[in-house]
Homo-oligomer: A and B are copies of this chain.
Amino acid sequence: MKKLINAPENVVEESMAGLAAAYRQVLTAHFGPNFLRRVDAPVNGKVSVISGGGSGHEPLHGGFVGRGMLDAACPGAVFTSPTPDQMLAATEAVHGGRGVLHIVKNYTGDVMNFEMAAELARAQGIEVEAVVINDDVAVKDSLYTAGRRGVGTTVLAEKICGAAAEEGQSLEQLAALCRKVNAAGRSMGMALTSCTVPHAGKPTFELATDEMEMGIGIHGEPGRERMKLRRADEVTDLLLQPVLDDLALGSGSEVLLFVNGMGGTPLLELFIIYRRAQELLQERGISVARNLVGPYITSLEMAGASITLLRLDDELKHFWDAPVWTPALRWGI
C-alpha cells in the first residue's frame, strides 16, 4: 500500500487537523467525538445544516463546511459511517435555535446512526429533520444500501440547502427543498481502478487491465456490469443515458451537469467527458445552465468518474448561485 499517511488509525484525525489549520477562518475541528464546524456557528436565526459519512470521499463533507453550505460535518473512519454521538455533538454545537437539517447519504449505517442522533437531539428539545439522498440510478440495492445509494446529488443538496438556510428559510422549508433536490438529481459512476482503504492495506476489488466497472459505488461496491474498456465518449454515453431515462428530461429542460472525478482521474480526462456529455445533452435539446467539474465526491485514489444531472428551475438556480465560502467551493465572497 503506497499512501502518504503515518498510520491507518490516525488518518482521519490528522487530516481533519490539517484541514482546520489550513482553513482557520472558515472552520474548526472538534475531536472526541469528531466533527468539523463552521467557525461562526451557531449562526443566530439560521437553521443549521449538517452532513457526514465515512471518510475517503474528500472534499465531501468537511470541505463543504463554511458560509453558505454546511454548519458541521461528521467524518467517520474511512468508508465507515460516523457514530451517533458525532452527529449528536455536532447538532448540539451548531444548533442556533431554529432547528437542524441532517443531509444523509443512503447507506444503511449512515441512515441508522443519523436517525439515532436525531432522536437523542429531539429528546433535548432540538428540532431535527433528516433527508436521505438516494440518487444513484446504477443499482437498486447494494452492498451497504437498501434502495438506491446516495452519491453526487449530495454535493448539490448541501450547496442549495446551505444557501437557503443562509437566506433564512425555516427547517420545514429546507427539508422540502432538500427532498426536491433529491427528486431532481440522478447520478451514475464508473471505475477504471480500485482504491485501497488504509486499514485494509490492499485494493477493495480487482479489475483486469482491459476492464472497467460501470455503475460502481463510491466505496467500490459492485455496479451494473463489468465490461471491456471503451473510449471516453462511449463511457460518457453509458453513464448519461440511464440518468436521462430516469429523470425523463424532455427537450427544453435546463440542468446542472456535474462531472465528478473519483480521485485518481486527471482533470484533463474529466473535461473530455464534460465535452461529450454537453454535446449529447445539446442533441436532446437539454440546456446546461450550470455545471460543476472536478473531484468533489471521491473514493480515495480510485480512477473513474460519475455524472450527475440536476433538473433546474429558478429557485434551484438562485440558491446554486448564492455566495459560498468553504474549502472546496467558493464564489461570490
Taking beta carbons and an 8 Å cutoff, which residues of A are in contact with B? Answer: 2-7, 11-12, 14-19, 21-22, 55-56, 58-59, 63, 78, 192-193, 209, 212, 229, 231-233, 235, 263-275, 278, 291, 293, 295, 298, 300-301, 303-305, 325, 330-333
In the complex, are the beta carbons of B293 and A4 less than 8 A apart?
no
Give the residue of B15, B209, B293, B305 whose beta carbon is less than 8 angstroms from that of A268. Answer: B15
What separation, in Å, do the CA atoms of A192 and B330 have in the docked complex?
Answer: 30
In the complex, are the beta carbons of B332 and A268 less than 8 A apart?
no
What separation, in Å, do the CA atoms of A63 and B270 have in the docked complex?
Answer: 13
Question: Known interface pairs A6-B231, A193-B2. Does A300 touch B22 (Cβ–Cβ under 8 Å)?
Answer: no
What separation, in Å, do the CA atoms of A311 and B289 have in the docked complex?
Answer: 41
* Chain B residues, Cβ within 8 Å of A271: 14-19, 22, 58
User: What residue in chain B is nearest A75 (Cβ atoms)?
Assistant: B268
What separation, in Å, do the CA atoms of A273 and B3 have in the docked complex?
Answer: 11
Give the residue of B4, B22, B268, B295 whose beta carbon is less than 8 angstroms from that of A55. Answer: B268
In the complex, are the beta carbons of B266 and A22 less than 8 A apart?
no
In the complex, are the beta carbons of A303 and B58 less than 8 A apart?
no
* Chain B residues, Cβ within 8 Å of A267: 15, 58-59, 63, 295, 298
* Chain B residues, Cβ within 8 Å of A193: 2
* Chain B residues, Cβ within 8 Å of A275: 14-15, 17-18, 21
* List of 7 A-B pairs having minimum Cβ-Cβ separation, nearest first: A18-B271, A18-B275, A58-B267, A4-B269, A18-B274, A2-B192, A15-B271
* Chain B residues, Cβ within 8 Å of A330: 330-331
Question: Known interface pairs A2-B192, A233-B6. Does A274 touch B21 (Cβ–Cβ under 8 Å)?
Answer: yes
* Chain B residues, Cβ within 8 Å of A232: 3-6, 14
What separation, in Å, do the CA atoms of A55 and B275 have in the docked complex?
Answer: 17
* Sample of 27 A–B contacts (CB below 8 Å): A2-B192, A2-B209, A4-B270, A5-B231, A5-B232, A5-B269, A5-B272, A11-B272, A12-B268, A14-B232, A15-B271, A15-B275, A18-B271, A18-B274, A21-B274, A21-B275, A21-B278, A22-B278, A56-B268, A58-B267, A264-B303, A266-B300, A266-B301, A268-B300, A330-B330, A330-B331, A332-B333
In the complex, are the beta carbons of B58 and A3 less than 8 A apart?
no
Give the residue of B22, B270, B301 whose beta carbon is less than 8 angstroms from that of A265. Answer: B301
